[in-house]
């Protein structure tokens, strides 16, 4: 068998495999892009609510976050701040803002999952109907608490609010691309899945759970993307998450380059690790339980971070062109071009409906610079994978 023929076969196989994430991404973005506007009226009974806010040394942001939550609660609701391994006065500030602050100190077990498990045990004495999880550095928009709580009670399933990132002042082109990618991941794609009647992944904050669902969840772990893992675990248990686009929670992208890289490394290493381990698990569950929704969730999870997807496509598209010029087949090049068109259609559709006002089209010209910034993050996944929680240092405008 000639070497050129073998190269063509290899490129053909890679191009076909790449069609899966490119096609899934395109389908989700197009479904979200053509979806008509819908009413966000809350019609169902409001449940009793327990809000859990895990916090580790959050004195710079905790008060601002709690001030957006407290006005949305009734006297029968409870707001619990878990001051987790804190060395500052996070707990004191939380109490001053009207929250119940409980303190957990166990440096051998670090991570958001352990804090949430501690808070859940506190609530178990008098369980609410719905538990809501909010990160300590977020702004919760008006009526978001009620909207996701009502949907959780009505469906009996986890609910994910829209979680997007605001850009810091004097944002660089890199910040713009990062915020756009975050919008595609946390707003556009879940909205497309909702339009198709399919479940979504959880994104870490703005999450609501019926009590009898969350109490069964294995929260106590140091998983660096515990939200994705929780979504998979609950979906396999029969409780796939639903999306509530009308409820909105916002964060702020880190301003310092080092802080942004640290945060991105944790997110994306965790995403890739979850992709590799949980996609097969979901596919097995889809076959054994005869559930299409699990297969759809596996396909959604199989889409890698957008920058990595574009990076892989560019590398193999270039290689396919070189092989074609050296006498290889044109078929792999054509398939890679199809992959690229699907990715481009997805990005343009998402931008047209969800990012046109905030992100000028010229923002996309910065994609090559953004991809270059991300290369060390992905190389580190191969040689120095991040597997533990590392707190992002805060500065003015950082998170």
Instruction: Indicate whether 393 pLDDT > 60.
Output: no
- pLDDT value of residue 357: 84
DSSP string of 233-281, one letter each residue: HHHHTT--BEEEEEEEEEEE--SSHHHHHHHHHHHHHHHHHHHHHHHHH
Q: Which helix (H) or strand (E) is 94 found in, with range?
A: helix 90-96
Q: What is the pLDDT of residue 202?
A: 95
Which position has the higher pLDDT, 53 or 204? Answer: 53
162: which 2 tokens?
A: 């829209």
Question: Which own/partner contact pairs does 355-362 have at CB distance under 8 Å and 24+ positions apart?
Answer: 355/180, 355/183, 358/179, 359/176, 359/179, 359/180
Predicted confidence at residue 115, as pLDDT, reads 94
CB 301 within 8 A of CB 282: yes
Topology of domain 1-34+47-399 in CATH is Spore Coat Polysaccharide Biosynthesis Protein SpsA; Chain A (3.90.550)
Give me the pLDDT at residue 397, please: 33
Question: Which whole number is the average pLDDT over 20-41?
Answer: 87
The mean per-residue pLDDT over the stretch 167-178 comes to: 75
What pTM was estimated for this model as a whole?
0.90
For the chain, the average pLDDT equals 89
CB contact at 8 A, 26 and 303: no
To the nearest 10°, the Cα dihedral for 217, 124, 222, 370?
80
């Amino acid at each position: 068998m000639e070497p050129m023929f073998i190269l063509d076969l290899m490129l053909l196989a890679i191009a076909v495999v790449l069609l899966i994430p490119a096609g899934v991404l395109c389908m989700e973005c197009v479904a979200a892009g053509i979806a008509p506007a819908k009413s966000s009226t809350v019609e169902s009974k409001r449940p009793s609510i327990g809000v859990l806010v895990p916090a580790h040394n959050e004195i710079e942001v905790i008060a601002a976050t709690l001030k957006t939550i407290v006005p949305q609660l009734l006297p029968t609701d409870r707001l619990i701040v878990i001051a987790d391994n804190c060395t500052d006065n996070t707990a004191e500030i939380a109490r001053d803002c009207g929250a119940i602050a409980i303190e957990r100190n166990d440096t051998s077990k670090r991570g958001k999952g352990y804090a949430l498990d501690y808070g859940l045990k506190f609530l178990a004495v008098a369980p609410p109907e719905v538990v809501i999880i909010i990160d300590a550095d977020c702004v919760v928009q008006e009526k978001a608490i009620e909207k996701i709580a009502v949907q959780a009670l009505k469906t009996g399933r986890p609910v994910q609010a829209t979680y997007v990132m605001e850009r810091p002042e004097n944002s660089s082109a890199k910040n713009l691309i990062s915020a756009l990618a975050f919008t595609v991941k946390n707003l556009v794609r879940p909205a497309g899945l909702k339009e198709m009647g399919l479940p979504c992944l959880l994104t870490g904050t703005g999450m609501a759970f019926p009590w009898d669902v969350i109490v069964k969840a294995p929260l106590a772990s140091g998983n660096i993307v515990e939200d994705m893992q929780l979504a998979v675990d609950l979906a396999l248990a029969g409780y796939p998450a639903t999306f509530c686009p009308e409820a909105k929670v916002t964060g702020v992208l880190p301003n310092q380059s080092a802080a942004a890289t640290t945060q991105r490394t944790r997110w994306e290493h965790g995403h890739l690790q979850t992709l590799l381990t949980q996609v097969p698990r979901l596919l097995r569950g889809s076959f054994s339980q005869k559930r299409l929704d699990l297969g759809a969730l596996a396909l959604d999870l199989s889409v890698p971070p957008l920058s990595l997807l574009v990076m892989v496509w560019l590398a193999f598209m270039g290689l396919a062109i070189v092989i074609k010029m050296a006498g290889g087949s044109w078929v792999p090049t054509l398939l890679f071009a199809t992959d690229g068109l699907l990715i481009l259609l997805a990005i343009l559709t998402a931008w047209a409906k969800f990012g046109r006002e905030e992100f000028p089209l010229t923002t996309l010209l910065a994609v090559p610079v953004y991809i270059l910034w991300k290369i060390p993050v992905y190389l580190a996944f191969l040689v120095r994978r991040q597997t533990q929680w590392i707190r992002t240092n805060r500065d003015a405008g950082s998170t």
